[in-house]
Structure 1
Amino acid sequence: MGTFVEKMFIESGIEELTSMTDVITQSGRTPGTSMFLQKIVKIDQETKVLLNLAETDKIIVVELIRTADQEPVMYSLDKLPFSLFPSEYHFSEELLLKDLKNDANIEIDYAVFRLESVNFHSEISPKLNCDENTCLLVLEQVHYYKGNRSILYSNNYFRSDKIKFHLIRRRKR
């Protein structure tokens, strides 16, 4: 005889900008980071357009894996202008938006996002310990501050078997 334990999902609303650290904590689980990389690179065409930057600008790329109870639940790839920070600056592993506010005086007002489901991703799925049958939810978003100025381009990949999102929709009056 054994005991069947149902795996607990993390569930969150998606209408408010909330850090994954807070979402994981509010679900009763312990947030963590199993991978954190930060590098300065030449700008790519897509980021140049989305963040309204020049061809010669460099960007900071922050790549991380967020965990809940030491289990990978999200892979994040964030891109932002290098010119906003000192050359030796390092983001904390937990709260990128808080670092922006405290260290660059940039407070995000809103983000425009697109949510889609993708099948196995050859590069990202293994980082999240996903098998070929686990879909990923991809949240692609551009963050804005100070009168519609784009500042941060993010791609977040969530394990669909670990996290669920909900959105409250209201009838237009």
Structure 2
Amino acid sequence: MSTKQENIKQLIEEYMKVNQMGPGDRLPSETALSQSFRVSRTTLRGAIRQLESEGKLLVKHGSGTFATCPLPSIPSSLDRLYSIGDMIRSAGLREDEQLESIQRISVCPPDIAEQMRFSENEPMIALERTRTANGEAVAHSINWMPEKLAGPILEGDSFSGSLFQSLEFKAGVRIVGAYSELTVPNYDDAHMTRLLKDPQATVLLLKQLHYDEMNRQVLYSLDYVRSDIFRFWVRRTR
């Protein structure tokens, strides 16, 4: 974002604050705002796009630009193991999920087999869910488990609730840690597009290999999370 767009972005935020604009309140037209701020409509639109990517504005083509109630950021320390649901609830938000698919795969994909140190002949279950906070999609998860482990936690072709708790109380497997890699997914990753609210928005990918009390690899997860909602930090010492 250019310095001029950043300045206009701050002016728009100040305008919303001074006029006590709440969720659903409509801003003046682009023409009126550009004249008021004495700036080109191109610069104004860039600032509005940035505010939209931050969840502070909603642009409805043909209707106008509206103030929203942005979700708070969800912090997580990378040296502690939290589930996506735990992080959402810890931020005081209402957590929910949408089951996308449960796949039973007779031949384990080579990359998953390598990560989990399984034979490619190991039957696997792939559980895919979209997670929401206050009704808004904030994460998309794909969880890989051996079928012999996942069987007790699945109710036919459905699943809901905490995966960690289900594994512990229904399958007798307690996850105690994970090796985690935080990265940025490829631009053409189809799973990432489920979370993109705006072309300028970004998504992080958390790859995690979970292990139990016996140090057995029991779960491999791909967690796509919105970077405007989730913030990860780690304490470093010298």
Give the match for residue 12 of structure 1: 76
Describe how 1:18-167 pairs up with structure 2 within 5 A. 18-41=82-105, 42-86=107-151, 89-90=154-155, 92-118=159-185, 120-167=187-234
TM-score (norm 1): 0.87
Choose from 21, 30, 47 the match for 1:3.
Answer: 21
Amino acid at match of 2:86: D
CA deviation string 1:38-66 (max 9, x = no partner): 12113100111222222221100010111
Aligned length: 171
Two-structure CA RMSD over aligned residues (Å): 2.2
TM-score (norm 2): 0.65
Alpha-carbon shift at residue 154 of structure 1 (Å): 0.6
- Show structure 1 runs of 5+ residues with no match: none
- Identity of aligned pairs, percent? 26
Task: Work out whether residues 137 and 158 of structure 1, in 8 Å CA contact, stay in contact via their aligned partners in 2.
Answer: yes
Q: Hey, what's the Cα distance between the residues in 2 that align with 1:162 and 1:21?
A: 13
Change (3 A) 1:87 1:12: closer
- Show structure 2 runs of 5+ residues with no match: 1-18, 24-55, 57-69
Q: Hey, what's the Cα distance between the residues in 1 that align with 2:147 and 2:85?
A: 24
**Which structure has more strand as a fraction of its residues?**
1
Q: Which has the higher Rg, Structure 1 or Structure 2?
A: 2
Larger RCO, structure (CA 8 Å, separation 6 or more): 1
Change (3 A) 1:119 1:3: farther
